[in-house]
Amino acid sequence: MTSKRTVLSTMALAVALTAGMTATLASTASAGTTLKASAAEKGRYFGAAVATGKLSDSQYVGILNREFNSVVAENEMKWDATEPQQGRFSYTGGDRLVSHARANGMTVRGHTLLWHAQQPGWAQGLSGSALRNAAINHVTQVATHFRGQIHSWDVVNEAFADGGGGGRRDSNLQRTGNDWIEAAFRAARSADPGAKLCYNDYNTDGVNAKSTGVYNMVRDFKARGVPIDCVGFQSHLGTSLPGDYQANLQRFADLGVDVQITELDVMTGSNQANIYASVTRACLAIARCNGITVWGVRDSDSWRGTDDALLFDRSGNKKAAYNAVLDALNAGSNPPTTPPPGTPDTTAWYLLVNRNSGKALDVYNLATNDGARITQWARNNGNQQQWQFVDSGGGYYRLKSRLSGKVLDVYNFSTTNGGSIVQWSDGNGTNQQFRLADSDGGYVRLINRNSNKVVEVQGASTADGGNIVQYDDWNGSNQQWQLIRIG
């Protein structure tokens, strides 16, 4: 998100896993009555930028929780907020947002690790290798703090110049060397390997010199193995939408990256609703468009002042633009499924490796008794790390330990966040039954039939012995598991 600027008026979910296993999300035929419900039916998120100071505003929070399933911090995760003094980090605002998101089943976009604006004064006074080292340390520390809690990070924001040149913006970061963006992405991947890593910019909505400059950088990164997963298109729009908006998004998707609408707002006027609907349809038309985020909730919350650029008016009422977006979402096609739904091989044994930690689901200390702890541990392919899927019908399975012959069990039929996952004798109870939900990239979530919560590594731990519990499904990387067939 930039400071106030003049906005230009032209501004499968079926995923193959390993060794013949597939898992799919079921499509939903009903029309959603909220933005988040309809977007979720289409396999996408619909998010909003949040100022945590407004979380005490009941109207604001009511709309946020009802309509949105993704949030991004307006300012609380930027450099000046998270590292106000060199080496002294403050995460109060960011942690508050993440806590609110987790309590309400929302994912979180991280914004932003590096940007030429809103740098703390001490960083503005640095240059050369001192600034480079400080910047990479900042990326590492912040991404590590939020590891396992962020769906997508805007690793670098607005690094390209406006105008017809298509080149980089002259900034203190750029003057540390042209490879600074690459260095930031590599550091972010090391710090949080489960998060999607995005480049984010404005005035890149159509095919123009600036968007082509970004496109060339992304193409180069993909060719050289620089870790980039997504490109964010801010889409701060005026009174018209570029005619090649969808084609521009598609050309990036064709490079093998996801595309996201990250800061959408549209100037008020007779065309506002049509533009919002057109952006929504464009995203739905592109398989790799993950979702849409609007920059604020009500018009009174917008950085654009009197533009009244959002979906809810200053009194919190739905606008025509809201109805246009919801109608466009409901008119879209549900994500593809594989009929019949993909199933695991019930004769095979699998390791379940966590996306966040890289460790395997493990029966702690080789226990064979009822109630024994389930933890994560460094992969060793031992019997205590091998699991077989036992069919319970209706798309649900029990996970049986090769060591003990017992199955994963939500202790005492708990329905609370943090409920313990243990092993227990197989009674085929609903607290022992799990279905598979796709998380992309060959990872799945395990959703319990009794509680409708997912199996996760508590607190996004990366340590051996990290507890396995259940929690609300927010698709965190600590809730994602790779199934590796070993026999």
Residue positions annotated with a catalytic role: 158, 263
Cα separation of the two ends of the chain: 49
Write the CA distances from 61 to 10, 204, 303, 319, integer angstroms.
32, 31, 18, 18
Residues written for the chain = 487
Contact, 13 vs 169, CB < 8 A? no
Contact, 482 vs 353, CB < 8 A? yes
Helix-helix angle 245-253:272-284, to 10 degrees:
30
Rounded to the nearest 10°, the torsion over CA 287, 290, 296, 297 is: 80
Rounded to whole angstroms, the Cα distance separating 223 from 231 reads 16
Backbone angles phi, psi at 135, to 5 degrees: -65, -45
DSSP calls for 179-210: THHHHHHHHHHHH-TTSEEEEEESS-SSSSHH
Helices (H), 5-158: 35-41, 58-67, 79-82, 92-103, 121-124, 128-145
Contact, 442 vs 482, CB < 8 A? yes
Write the CA distances from 386 to 137, 243, 357, 401, 486, integer angstroms.
38, 53, 18, 6, 8
Write the CA distances from 8 to 204, 243, 300, 311, 390, integer angstroms.
11, 15, 21, 20, 58
Q: Which DSSP symbol is given to 469?
A: E
